[in-house]
Amino acid sequence: MNINRNGESGSTPFRSGRFFTIDTNWYFSTREAMDQGPYRSREDAEYALRKYIENCQRVEKNWKTTPLSH
């Protein structure tokens, strides 16, 4: 899927796939270069990736709205 990310414009850069297999196990890669898995199927890995992204977005939102304490 070649679509721009939120906040991007212009031509879409090449992006490699996030999903890969080792033996019969499925994994996904993150921007932080941390492979996540193993999962029994690609569908399980896709579901886990969606949850991972939702969690990252929740953490980022909370981080931006939480005042720093001294």
Does any domain span residue 30?
Answer: yes
> Which band of pLDDT confidence, cut at 50, 70 and 90, is reported for residue 17?
confident
Neighbours of 39 (CB within 10 A): 19
Does any domain span residue 38?
Answer: yes
Does any domain span residue 2?
Answer: no
- What number is the average pLDDT over the span 3-27? 75
Does any domain span residue 23?
Answer: yes
The three-class DSSP label of residue 15 is coil
Q: pLDDT tens-digit profile of 24-48?
A: 999 999 988 889 999 999 999 999 9
Question: Which one-letter amino acid corresponds to residue 44?
Answer: D
- In this prediction the pTM is 0.67
Task: Look at the chain and report how many structural domains it folds into.
Answer: 1
**pLDDT of the residue at 65:** 78
* Domain boundaries, position 25: 19-64
Report whether the peptide linkage leading into residue 67 is cis, meaning its omega lies within 30 degrees of zero.
no
> Which band of pLDDT confidence, cut at 50, 70 and 90, is reported for residue 1?
very low
